[in-house]
Chain A
Amino acid sequence: MLVIAPAFADPVSANQATFRAVMDAFARPGSVRALTAAELAPPPPLSRGAAAVALALLDYETPVWLDTRLAAERSIADWLRFHTGAPLIVEPGRAAFAFIDDAARMPPFEAFSLGSEEYPDRSTTLVIRVDGFGTTAPLTLTGPGIAGRREFSFAPAPADFPARLIANRALFPRGVDLLFVADEAAAALPRSTRLIERA
């Protein structure tokens, strides 16, 4: 028999709390926000934080792409389909959201939807699982949502991440938006954020 782990007992307030944390993360790029997801037990390797984000933002209007690790676990697809109704797709270029478990080996950003000059909002939001924040050499960020500069790091990260970020910013207003989630925390790098390169 198919057994699907439950979602939040009080979805209205839990989804609102998750959204506000994600909104604050987008509004203040690189700042780490607390997520309340202790109640969730999604099928591994889907993290509790990523599961909370999925419940807050996905529905029948949002095609979702899963990376190889998440797609390999059938119970994750079952859990997402049952709780959100989101269509799971295999072409990353059509995804509204992409869930990535293996951050170090994530596909190039160009594989996803970057939006158009006319409709830059029609781009993919990447939800990337991380182990934690602030444990490795930081990137220095500036741009909307940042008073002056802010330092930010996450692990694990792909080796070419700074170059990817610069290339993504160069496409502005096109580009992908990045949401990093640990089990109980989230941080974002929307496409508007600029990387200050070290001298």
Chain B
Amino acid sequence: MNAPAYNFAYLDEQTKRMIRRAILKGIAIPGYQVPFASREMPMPYGWGTGGVQVTAAILGPGDTLKVIDQGADDTTNAVSIRQLFAKTAGVCTTTHTAEATVIQTRHRIPETKLGEDQVLVYQVPIPEPLRFLEPRETETRQMHAHADYGLMHVKLYEDIARHGHISTSYAYPVKVDGRYVMDPSPTPKFDNPKMNDCAALQLFGAGREKRIYAIPPHTTVVSLDFEDHPFEASRTQASCELCGADDSYLDEVITDDRGGRMFVCSDTDYCEARREARP
């Protein structure tokens, strides 16, 4: 098997057209999950098959691709997907957020503010925000059709009744342009405010669940909350031990078996750039 036997960016042209049509409908109906004929990809479900198909459908020879997994450019999933497109599409790749035209992400939004000429592609495991509240697709479809989202508020209320605050910390539900409640994928709720009025186009692909959805640039994205329990973008109260950042989302790293630990930036590019800039 060698790369030239594949079409540009792996997928065949009919598959790309089908995905491209779904992307256009997704953009036209912000936050609505468009069903699409997800293909089997050379990787298991749960590794980003939806994100990979969206990236393959939009990628062109002039693009520069960045892939992150939990904020990091150097983890297995990110490296594999970056290599897949370097091999099958011959595109330039980068780890620098500002240089990328297409960024595929698993579970984080980069710390560096995204620009007008960028597209952020999310890998989504379970696109339906109501799925754990109502398992039947026929019912959740009706709930979206009628904008019947009371159940989601009940869930958040139960969080408060049980824990004193909204304990949902990731995949925190948002309302897009005042209409559809949407799952932002399992990003930490720290990232939710970055989705609102974002200059970049945000596309979401769920391979196993066969759904594509989108947030156009400069769209109002509101995290659901209550007047007396407003949404809070929480982060660990610490600074990165590598770069000193006190405004980034932190990963906790266990350093030994005696309780030693350190907090470091989850966004490796952000952390590296800050360290390089230090005198």
Interface residues of A (CB under 8 A from B): 11-13, 15-17, 19-20, 22-24, 26-28, 56-59, 61-62, 96, 116-121, 123, 125, 143-147, 172-173, 177, 190-192
| Interface residue stretch chosen among B23-31, B153-161, B234-242 | B23-31
New A-B pairs, 5, CB < 8 Å, besides A15-B16, A20-B58, A173-B179? A144-B220, A147-B197, A147-B218, A173-B29, A192-B29
The 10 closest A-B pairs by CB, nearest first: A190-B28, A145-B216, A117-B145, A121-B25, A144-B219, A144-B216, A147-B218, A26-B27, A27-B201, A177-B28
A121:B34 contact, CB within 8 angstroms: yes
B32:A120 contact, CB within 8 angstroms: yes
B87 near A: Cβ within 8 Å? no
A172 to B58, CA, bound (A): 26
- In the complex, what's the smallest C-beta–C-beta distance from B15 to chain A, in angstroms? 10
Chain B contact-residue range equals 35 or more
A23:B218 contact, CB within 8 angstroms: no
Q: Known contacts being A23-B24, A144-B177, is A12 close to B8, with CB within 8 Å?
A: yes
Q: Which residue of A lies closest to B60 (CB)?
A: A16
B273 near A: Cβ within 8 Å? no
- In the complex, what's the smallest C-beta–C-beta distance from A64 to chain B, in angstroms? 13
A190 to B217, CA, bound (A): 13
15 pairs, A vs B, C-beta closer than 8 Å: A13-B8, A15-B13, A16-B8, A23-B58, A27-B27, A27-B216, A61-B18, A62-B21, A121-B22, A121-B25, A121-B26, A144-B218, A144-B220, A147-B199, A190-B29
Interface residues of B (CB under 8 A from A): 7-8, 13-14, 16-18, 20-30, 32, 34-35, 57-61, 141-142, 144-146, 177, 179-180, 197, 199, 201, 215-220
Q: Known contacts being A27-B201, A27-B217, A177-B24, is A117 close to B177, with CB within 8 Å?
A: no
- In the complex, what's the smallest C-beta–C-beta distance from B146 to chain A, in angstroms? 7
- Selected contact of A19 from candidates B26, B58, B217, B218, CB within 8 Å: B58
A178 to B14, CA, bound (A): 23
Chain A residues contacting B30 (CB-CB under 8 Å) are 144, 192
Q: Which residue of B lies closest to A177 (CB)?
A: B28
B7:A121 contact, CB within 8 angstroms: no
B13:A11 contact, CB within 8 angstroms: yes
Chain B residues contacting A121 (CB-CB under 8 Å) are 22, 25-26, 29, 32, 34-35
- In the complex, what's the smallest C-beta–C-beta distance from B68 to chain A, in angstroms? 22
B27:A190 contact, CB within 8 angstroms: yes
Q: Which residue of B lies closest to A120 (CB)?
A: B29
A57:B201 contact, CB within 8 angstroms: no
Chain A residues contacting B58 (CB-CB under 8 Å) are 16, 19-20, 23
Q: Known contacts being A177-B28, A192-B30, is A23 close to B216, with CB within 8 Å?
A: no
